[in-house]
Amino acid sequence: MIPRESVCKKDLIHRGNMFGIGWLEVTVILGVAILIFGPKKLPEMGNSVGKALRGFRSEMNASPEQEDSDFDQK
């Protein structure tokens, strides 16, 4: 058994596991999502999730000076 501390994220991705989930599980989850939401609604949901992640990432990368100026403007 490999100690948890010695396994890095890079090793998991190279082994085909993303967040500890294998490709078979990802395929099953996508299949269930298509059954629940339908093929027409799924791209819209992916687009909105992508926009939310981009917004979150840009807020995380914002400089502290920019955050202070944003706060003063409100």
Residue 1 or 45, more confident = 45
Q: Is the Cα dihedral 43, 45, 47, 49 positive or negative?
A: negative
Q: Count the domains in the chain.
A: 2
The verdict on 47 and 34 lying in the same domain is no
Interatomic CA distance for residues 30 and 53, integer angstroms: 19
8-30 pLDDT, tens per residue?
555 555 555 556 888 899 899 98
Using the predicted structure, report yes or no on whether residue 72 has a pLDDT greater than 80: no
The verdict on 32 and 47 lying in the same domain is no
The verdict on 24 and 49 lying in the same domain is no
Using the predicted structure, report yes or no on whether residue 38 has a pLDDT greater than 70: yes
Q: How far is CA 66 from the centre of its chain?
A: 25
Percent of the chain with pLDDT over 70: 59
The verdict on 32 and 45 lying in the same domain is no
Angle between helices 23-37 and 41-60 (to 10 degrees): 120
The verdict on 14 and 47 lying in the same domain is no
